[in-house]
Amino acid sequence: MSKQVKLKRGFDIRLVGKAEKKVGDYQPVKTFAIKPTDFIGMQRPKVLVKEGDTVKAGTPILFDKKLEKVKYVAPVSGEIIEIKRGEKRKLLEIKILADGEINFENFEKLTSSGIKSASRETIVDKLTTSGVWPQIIQRPYGIVANPDDNPRAIFISGFDSHPLAPDYDYILKGQSNYFQAGIDALKQLTDGKVYLGLSADNKSTELGAIQGVETTTFSGPHPAGNVGVQIHNTAPINKGETLWTVNPYGVVQIGKLLINGIYDASKLVAITGSEVKTPTYAQTYIGSCVDSYVEGNTKSNHFRVISGNVLTGEKISKDGYLGFYQHQLTIIPEGDYYEFMGWMKPTADKLSFHKALGLLSFLFPKKEYALDSNVRGEPRAFVQTGVFEKVTPMDIYPVYLLKAIMAEDFDEMEELGIYEVIEEDLALCEFVDVSKHPVQQLIRKGIELIQYS
């Protein structure tokens, strides 16, 4: 019987525009891009291709000089049409014009029994050279894992509780054999356990029967689906320890590589948000250009496109590219306007965690809202209200941790839990913060202070 964890702290942001469980009819995507900025901690990227080169899906195009063993590869076959750089020649994007039919680099295949009997060195070599290794993320720090490390355990969250998040049971439908193969491979990479977190509210038919994992079910509001929250409530990380985490899609991708011998970057992406005419899923590949999903599919001409969800996603242009780790595109109204004393007007159309004067959303807990990007305020003095603790289901003190980061107090940061969190774990604090502080930026600042000290 699996362990059960009931979380009471947190907050569900209920928005209009959840994707219907069907694949929409979108125009074929022509260009794809790999963005080094998607890989936190990558500081010295080395490009292996030049404009005009022809690549296959799985052809190495990039690596980090600090972690040369790990290759970043082309998600599709086609031509390198642009290597885009910014200030001081910072590498921003490597763009590929798809050729319309995917040609793959071929890697050695393994049988199910071969995966289970393979050495750790064999599995590591296959994952690092083929492009799937970046799916493995290290805790602490939230960076691409070092293949030379031996993690205490590996954690996988089998569901996503972010606003309008995709349904993993839907996007992984029919791929349980690959997921199992991925689990078998991950077990070769650690002397500890592989933990799988599942939702107690929505029983997973694809992941519920997976063998060889320590299963824990979680119930409660967001961030119950965050792997960091699951780690904290299952087997917390301590100073000096290393854990790895993998997204369910990454586990499947590992399984496809080992069984089929190809780097398969295909994925289902949820096209969501109140500005979307028809929220559905799109069949595409990693790094997809979003213009095909935006053009002709919005209710107005003034909107914000977000690669990811509204809490942790990245604002991109209408012809920007989906992030490497994203399985969701969100389109909401742009909030570039000023509303005089808007918070004092009695209304039930604005979602708020606080039972503030005029904001009556707490009377309608199941209502879905069409929210825009307006933050309704500006940075001000750090008001200590105790509300951060109400949305953080972890035994840490977020306010004191943030103040320790601001003061660059290393000892306090360590004692207050900096090793246990990354940005997404405290993103709700940023949403409920009446002081309008960039909480996620502060968390990354603290992580980097500790990491490079």
Give the pLDDT of residue 365. Answer: 66
> What's the CA gap between 22 and 33, in Å, rounded?
25
* Average pLDDT, integer, range 410-414: 96
Give the pLDDT of residue 357. Answer: 47
178: tokens are: 């690959």
Task: Quick: pLDDT tens for 167-191.
Answer: 999 999 999 999 999 999 999 999 9
**How large a percentage of the chain has pLDDT more than 90?**
83
Determine how many CB atoms are found less than 10 A away from the CB of residue 37: 15
Residue with the larger pLDDT of the pair 156 and 339? 156
By the 10 Å C-beta count (0-12 exposed, 13-18 middle, 19+ buried), 13 is classed as buried
CATH number of 31-98: 2.40.50
* Average pLDDT, integer, range 50-56: 97
Confidence bin at 335 (pLDDT 50/70/90): confident
Spacing of C-alpha 423 from chain mean position = 11
Q: Model's pTM, two decimal places?
A: 0.94
Give the pLDDT of residue 206. Answer: 79
- Report domain extents, the chain: 1-29+106-337, 31-98, 387-451
Residue 142 has pLDDT above 90, yes or no: yes
> DSSP string of 155-173?
EEE----STT---HHHHTT
Provide the H-helix boundaries in 346-409.
387-390, 398-406
Average pLDDT over the chain, rounded to an integer: 92
Give the pLDDT of residue 356. Answer: 63
Task: Quick: pLDDT tens for 79-114.
Answer: 999 999 999 999 999 999 999 889 999 999 999 999
- Tell me the sheet residues that pair with 316: 305
| Sequence letter at residue 321 | Y
Determine how many CB atoms are found less than 10 A away from the CB of residue 48: 16
> DSSP string of 164-208?
T---HHHHTTT-HHHHHHHHHHHHTT-SS-EEEEEESSS--TTTT
* Average pLDDT, integer, range 7-19: 95
> What's the CA gap between 298 and 315, in Å, rounded?
16
By the 10 Å C-beta count (0-12 exposed, 13-18 middle, 19+ buried), 30 is classed as middle
Return the minimum-mean-pLDDT range out of 102-116, 322-336, 345-359, 411-425: 345-359
Task: Quick: pLDDT tens for 232-275.
Answer: 999 999 889 999 999 999 999 999 999 999 999 999 999 999 99
